[in-house]
Amino acid sequence: MTNGQIVFSEFRKTVELTQGNSILDAAKKVDVEISAVCGGRGLCGKCRVVVKDGSPNLGAVTRLETMSLSKEELAAGYRLACCALLEHDGTMSIEVPPESRVEQQRLLVAGIETAVIRNPSVKKLLLHLSKSSLENVKADAEILLEAITRLGLHIDRGIDYDALTRLSSAIREGDWSVTVGIRDDREIVCVEPGDTTQRTYGLAVDVGSTKIAAYLLDLNEGRVLGTASAPNPQIPYGEDIISRVSYASKSGQNTRQLQGVVIACINKLLHDISESAGIKVSDVYDGVLVGNTVMHHLFLGINPHFLALSPYPPAIKSSVNVRAKDIGLKINSAANVYVPPNVAGFVGADAVADVLATEICTSRPLSIMIDIGTNTEIALGNEQRTIACSCASGPAFEGGHIEFGMRAEPGAIENVYVDPSNLEPGFKTVGDARPRGICGSGIVDAVAAMLKSGVINTYGLINTKLKNSRIRIVRAPEYVLSWREENDVNHDISVTQHDIQEIQLAKAAIYSGATILMRHLGVRASQIQRVFLAGAFGTYVDPQSAVIVGMYPDVPLERVQFVGNAAGSGARMALLSREVRANADRIAQRIEYVELAADPSFQREFTEAMQLPHKHLTRFPTVAQLIAREV
Amino acid sequence: MTNGQIVFSEFRKTVELTQGNSILDAAKKVDVEISAVCGGRGLCGKCRVVVKDGSPNLGAVTRLETMSLSKEELAAGYRLACCALLEHDGTMSIEVPPESRVEQQRLLVAGIETAVIRNPSVKKLLLHLSKSSLENVKADAEILLEAITRLGLHIDRGIDYDALTRLSSAIREGDWSVTVGIRDDREIVCVEPGDTTQRTYGLAVDVGSTKIAAYLLDLNEGRVLGTASAPNPQIPYGEDIISRVSYASKSGQNTRQLQGVVIACINKLLHDISESAGIKVSDVYDGVLVGNTVMHHLFLGINPHFLALSPYPPAIKSSVNVRAKDIGLKINSAANVYVPPNVAGFVGADAVADVLATEICTSRPLSIMIDIGTNTEIALGNEQRTIACSCASGPAFEGGHIEFGMRAEPGAIENVYVDPSNLEPGFKTVGDARPRGICGSGIVDAVAAMLKSGVINTYGLINTKLKNSRIRIVRAPEYVLSWREENDVNHDISVTQHDIQEIQLAKAAIYSGATILMRHLGVRASQIQRVFLAGAFGTYVDPQSAVIVGMYPDVPLERVQFVGNAAGSGARMALLSREVRANADRIAQRIEYVELAADPSFQREFTEAMQLPHKHLTRFPTVAQLIAREV
């Protein structure tokens, strides 16, 4: 009997395999989770793996694989794990690319981890002081300052007020041994009896318009002690950002109300994480908040009215430092909150955090970062030059304006394939629950699968001439994904012609933004070395489906990297390093903002990008191949 | 008939006088108020004037005048206004020294006015901004900062949080004309629509342990718009400072309570002055608070416990800047409060303000400043070197520990003389009300008069051998000032042997402090060019009586200057000038603190100073002359 050995090197796992079994079978044995929506039938094309070594031991590439993989990918060793079967004895080394990993698609608050040299704003020092004598009476503060000066630090910003009121007692309580917290090497933020140097924590928060993610870090070690997230409690005041701006603009009280609910939510998240981690919130000495410009204005209590009026100016571009207690954040009373700079009215502190995390501005390879949301921020460039824009991509990717759209909650159809032979769909839902609707990644997947299988054409029109029970006309043409008997909502769940158009509008906004940036920089898609997809949707969406619908330039899939909540990652980096903060200010100065509305070619680009994947198929060679094969 | 003309040059008043009338008569005619407790009988010696011109037109110096004036004073042209009568035709120019002016003795919140070059911490600028365009979108804050930068200012401390939240609206409301308040040329504290540059006010407060005095100033013009004062509301928590320290030390809550009542009192005073002046408290952009170290700690909310424990260290020596809202002061929310530095545990920010106002540290003449209170601060020196100490002078000068002592309120006996011929007393009360008790200046006056008239000897002992109904023994010897029939309290009001001892203890504390400072500096009393008496008591006390009891070194009276609430004056100076603040820091660094308790000669000095005026009469040549003549 033939015996092969499969090595999943990244997981440090090895498994024996017998002839006729697939790589997917091998993976299941050692709990390497590979995404496979269709259950291993070769239809969904999600279980992509790269065979690094021992390719000849596997069976030939199947017809199903040639439908899902481009020539370049096949040449690079890509296979579908369910289709690649062991044929000959030997060892094979298999790489599971990020897009095929299940875990990658599950973590909402996680994000790319970019190494930083730890140099937090607040550091603690243990000092042993000498007592004052009657012959040489010194004030307590002066004794403390002299001890710090001897260490080479120059405290030119004085002592925080609360620290000052506690100083004398702390010194005696600690019997002249005290721990001082020092901000930016120039200001005393706390004086505590004894040695509390181990207790130095910080809070990083990504305030998304939909979701708030908080991270508690140990500033001494740079370690994440806990994370928590919650829906943005501003949602009841306006599902979309513009509604919230309009609510907040009505009065100062409304602005403070929207600020208040967000801060209360962060305080709750902080409380929960702190309790789990067993730390006191008063030991949290620093905070970093990021968000898009509207979130930025609202959590700072700034009326966002003028952000929504041409020429859409933010109140402030440069980074902001405020006292935590000024905005009601219940960390140490002397703590500061740092907010990275904005680039422009619709490219905010979160985009700067994205760029920090992906290191676009400081790396040699040309990269594009796409943080997909209701507004999608795109940054393109490298260490030489970086430009950015914001696209009004709308709520479709979050399930909004979609007939049976919903958030990525249990029961949401998130992965779809369509069998080209009989046009029967297969899908996977969040939590493997019975279907309740379709989330953003599901609708993109569906549109891509419908295009590949010929249910729709490149104009996005459903081919109602096809004889199939799934294809029908109710008010308008639609394709039924789930019959009412199979689901939990007591009605059929379909993708409607209107839904497809919403996706076309959304993806056209992003693609035309990316194209205009490429033209500004004078580069072609093939020159882009790295594509970073950020945001919850960017984490869930199938990258191949995204490229099939023409959401972003057609680059080899291995260049695409999911960076999850990159804004949260950038916030954590800024929390851990003053250099990152300085860098953020430089980045925001350097990034050139491109106002799409002011670009003369925008309208034409947008119209051309409405087709699937694009009016000019030459721009999507890989996709052209896939469609050609299918249709 | 002889006709003379009297010119009171300082008052710009001229009056005709007929032969046989006195200078006091002339003064009364034109409302030049000269202090004359005995009603012009030549007994009290208070109506001292200096004849600058035309002395020969007056009658010869009387015997009564030689009893009150020293040889040097007589040589310098001093006369008693009631005794100097017109004898020959001619013009006489008369100067009324400050100690003889009635008004000088009435103003409690007033103080010396020392000229400063106006350079307040907060200044306002009117800016006309250029709007952002879609082609060149700038953030509002950046437009503002660029406009300020073009004026040559470098805002390196950013924008106050509250100002940031209001910035965008203010810019539009003012149609791109805004007024910005800038602190120390480096931080934006407010952004207001239109031109509000005229509305820039500041608040200076002297927080005394007994009384709080507040001054509202126009920072553009340096003008005082209004003043108000109130008793310190901490008094119910402890009449003396040590009781308050002990109350505050019990808990953080107690400390905050004592802080709270003081700040509430200041807010009330501010509210009253602002209302009278017709200004808004939000237009008050800066504050200066001064007080002794205990008041300093309490209004800052710092536990003063360790101030009362050897070696009596203050929590902080250097000047303090806190946000007004951190201590609850209801001026503009972005306003700062500046508190001058302390010198030592019992030489506080108020003493530094005294030194600022009297300019001791920056003048050539050797000067001594004595701020008399329960604790008396003394500073001695000049631009070369200045030293300071604090004396535990006790409450006697405020009427405390005195049998019939009371505050300087209506009915308090404040000026006393004793007719040497029959030992009958004469006195004046505050508000000319019927007698109710004796205030601090009254008891000092009484002791001096009793010494001059021989009722007591230089040991302070009442001569019970004298046959006089006023001198009697109840529990101990006493001298009756006011019989019960003449007063409002239904009992005789006397000066007791114990009262005299209290005054001896108090004045010995001050004099020995001054002596030790002189020894440290190697100077003699005659070298002291200026004596500044500060504090309410220092304003009311008769300077000659003070020198007769030996409270401070025997220097010619014309060198003595009443500076009233000099601490309040210093606070106003610091409010108007950043250079004064910088100077305060330098002064506090420069002033050498002398710890009297650690001086080996203190005990001996103190014992010798218990005598009236002193064990060594050679140290008090003027007084020796007066006593010799009388006794």
- Count the residues in chain A: 631
Q: Given CB atoms, is B597 within the 8 Å cutoff of chain A?
A: yes
Please state the rounded mean pLDDT for residues A569-598.
94
Please state the rounded mean pLDDT for residues A615-629.
85
Answer whether A138 sits within 8 Å of B320, measured CB to CB: no
Task: Give the closest-approach CA distance of A316 to chain B in angstroms.
Answer: 5
Residue B492 confidence class, pLDDT cut points 50, 70, 90: very high
Provide CB contacts within 8 A for B545, sequence distance 6+.
B441, B444, B445, B447, B448, B449
Kindly report, residue by residue over A120-141, the tens digit of the pLDDT: 999 999 999 998 887 778 999 9
Tell me which residue of B146, B155, B170, B150 sits closest to B123, measured CA to CA: B155
Q: How much is the pLDDT for A69?
A: 83
Answer whether B164 sits within 8 Å of A305, measured CB to CB: no
Task: Give the closest-approach CA distance of B235 to chain A in angstroms.
Answer: 22
Cα–Cα distance for residue pair A233/A221, rounded to 1 Å: 32
Tell me which residue of A249, A390, A347 sits closest to A306, measured CA to CA: A249
Q: How much is the pLDDT for B583?
A: 95
Given the cut 0.85, state whether the ipTM is greater than it. no
Provide CB contacts within 8 A for B554, sequence distance 6+.
B525, B547, B613, B619, B620, B621, B622, B623
Kindly report, residue by residue over B219-266, the tens digit of the pLDDT: 999 999 999 999 899 988 887 788 899 999 999 999 999 999 999 999
Q: How much is the pLDDT for A102?
A: 58
Residue A65 confidence class, pLDDT cut points 50, 70, 90: confident
Q: Are A243 and A298 in contact (CB under 8 A)?
A: no
Q: How far does CA B426 lie from the centroid of its chain? A: 27
In total, the C-beta contacts within 8 angstroms joining chain A to chain B are: 138
Kindly report, residue by residue over A530-568, the tens digit of the pLDDT: 999 998 787 788 888 999 999 999 998 889 988 989 999
Name which of A160, A165, A303 to mutate to probe chain B: the one with the most chain B Cβ atoms within 10 A of its Cβ: A165
Q: Which residues of A118-145 are buried (b: 16+ CB within 10 A; e: fewer)?
A: eebbbbbeebebeebeeeebbbbbbbbb
Name which of B297, B316, B323 to mutate to probe chain A: the one with the most chain A Cβ atoms within 10 A of its Cβ: B316
Residue B358 confidence class, pLDDT cut points 50, 70, 90: very high
Q: Given CB atoms, is B300 within the 8 Å cutoff of chain A?
A: yes
Of A139, A317, A323, Cβ closest to residue B315: A139
Residue A514 confidence class, pLDDT cut points 50, 70, 90: very high
Specify whether the backbone of B355 is left (phi greater than 0), alpha (psi in -120 to 50) or beta. alpha
Q: Of the given ranges (A272-281, A553-562, B495-504), which has the lowest mean pLDDT?
A: A553-562
Answer whether A306 sits within 8 Å of B172, measured CB to CB: yes
Counting runs of H as helices and runs of E as strands, what totals does chain A give?
Answer: 17, 26
What pTM value is reported for the model? Answer: 0.80
Residue A108 confidence class, pLDDT cut points 50, 70, 90: very low
Kindly report, residue by residue over A300-323, the tens digit of the pLDDT: 999 999 998 988 899 999 999 999
Q: How much is the pLDDT for A104?
A: 38
Kindly report, residue by residue over B25-46, the tens digit of the pLDDT: 888 888 787 877 666 777 777 7
Cα–Cα distance for residue pair B11/B27, rounded to 1 Å: 10
Q: Are A268 and A308 in contact (CB under 8 A)?
A: no
Residue B629 confidence class, pLDDT cut points 50, 70, 90: low
Q: How much is the pLDDT for B113?
A: 76
Of A164, A302, A597, Cβ closest to residue B165: A302
Cα–Cα distance for residue pair A615/A607, rounded to 1 Å: 9
Q: How much is the pLDDT for A89?
A: 85
Provide CB contacts within 8 A for A439, sequence distance 6+.
A398, A399, A405, A406, A407, A408, A409, A412, A413, A414, A430, A540
Strands (E) across B74-208 are located at 78-80, 90-95, 122-128, 177-183, 187-193, 201-207
Residue A341, pLDDT > 50, answer yes
Task: Give the closest-approach CA distance of B450 to chain A in angstroms.
Answer: 40
Which chain A residue has its CA at the smallest distance from B256's CA? A165
Residue B108 confidence class, pLDDT cut points 50, 70, 90: very low
Specify whether the backbone of A519 is left (phi greater than 0), alpha (psi in -120 to 50) or beta. alpha
Q: Given CB atoms, is A142 within the 8 Å cutoff of chain B?
A: yes
Kindly report, residue by residue over B546-594, the tens digit of the pLDDT: 999 999 999 988 899 889 899 999 999 999 999 999 999 999 999 999 9
Q: How much is the pLDDT for B106?
A: 38
Q: Are A458 and A464 in contact (CB under 8 A)?
A: no
B496 SS3 class: strand
Which chain B residue has its CA at the smallest distance from A324's CA? B161
- The pLDDT mean for chain A works out to 91
Q: Which residues pair with A207 in a beta bridge?
A: A212, A291
Answer whether A303 sits within 8 Å of B141, measured CB to CB: no
Q: Given CB atoms, is A322 within the 8 Å cutoff of chain B?
A: yes
Task: Give the closest-approach CA distance of B205 to chain A in angstroms.
Answer: 20
Cα–Cα distance for residue pair B416/B445, rounded to 1 Å: 5
